[in-house]
A and B are shown apart, each in its own frame.
Chain A
């Protein structure tokens, strides 16, 4: 979980750890299950250490992390503002796969085409699952939007894999 995300969630108002966790889950919908619960607390601790957030002991039992109330520091606010203004996009990871194919072909370790086909099958299965999940979401839910994004990226990746397939297919003789 990116630090900036948790920071930004704090920007609304100081919150308990479990409150943050609940809000995150809601925003992610079914994907929230993939989120590691403990991660939130770890991230909060890191943020505190870095001086971007500060915690206060709320009334109740001391020394229990989930009783702490976290809030943004001035530095933290600045960081959030900067993050919101950033325009970098999630990095694609295509180079690795591309090099995998070339290495396999060069060393004769495996048939690149088979690698492509296997990867394609896997992506198709994931597409199917993501699509099913997306369709099950009610219209306009934020999670549904996220799922749509996943589906579209998978689609784009599949298109690239088709191109790879075309490229790596040995030319057949015309009968």
Chain B
């Protein structure tokens, strides 16, 4: 891991714009963000507010129009495609709304893929994949194709895949967007689990349940951050009131 003092992720004045003149659209507008090690940050906002674009910028899937981006103290917004690829392979893990698993590969093979791309041996990759599938509770489904898995199970495979390189940072884009409530709970458990094991997470979502797992909640509107909340405190007593118990 990295020094406690250095934030895992730092963005300064990040901008992404499209078009020109009258048609100029600022998808991301002067965003500053610091994410400390082990922190879970949730970004919420209405559709079209630019949160997905922001996440793609943070992960190097897209290039910012302006601004600086640092990962564990290294500048990454200026890197070439190949260096970015290595980054995505080794240091950043991605979880997408649509899972994006490869349909012709089994669950285990899907999880192995980033390791194989990184040049790890087949045996190491297989072992690591088995470990991670065990962790997400899908050890018995390792040989199944994605078509044989439910939505929640697929997303869990995707989470396992994101963790295969032991990344410094995991980015999740609407991880429960395509899931029903049962599957959402499965994924929720995993995120809580990741959080308690010290993984740094940045989650973009409009599901308040997922957002509630975060330490910090940032609200985004029209490409800019407008609010930030620390979610702490409270006890079961308050909940009792919500259940209608105390009068």
Contacts and interface: CB of A to CB of B under 8 A. Distances in A.
B209 A124 contact: no
B181 A133 contact: no
A34 B237 contact: yes
Contacts of A162: 46
A124 B235 contact: no
Contacts of A36: 246
Interface of B: 26, 46, 181, 185, 188-189, 192, 207-209, 211-213, 217, 222, 227, 229, 231-247
A34 B246 contact: yes
Contact of B208 (A28, A124, A166): A124
A38 B54 CA distance: 54
Given A33-B240, A133-B239, A128 B231 contact: yes
B229 A34 contact: no
Interface size class of A (residues with CB under 8 A): 35 or more
A155 B46 CA distance: 15
Contacts, number: 86
A57 interface: no
B240 A34 contact: yes
A36 B128 CA distance: 51
Contact of A31 (B26, B231, B233, B245): B245
A90 B238 CA distance: 18
Interface stretch (A15-23, A64-72, A77-85, A145-153): A145-153
Contacts of A33: 236-237, 240
A154 to B, nearest CB: 7
B209 A34 contact: no
A31 B234 contact: no
A126 B188 contact: no
B59 to A, nearest CB: 26
Contacts of B245: 1, 28, 31, 34-35
Interface in A115-157: 117, 121, 124-133, 135, 146-147, 150-155
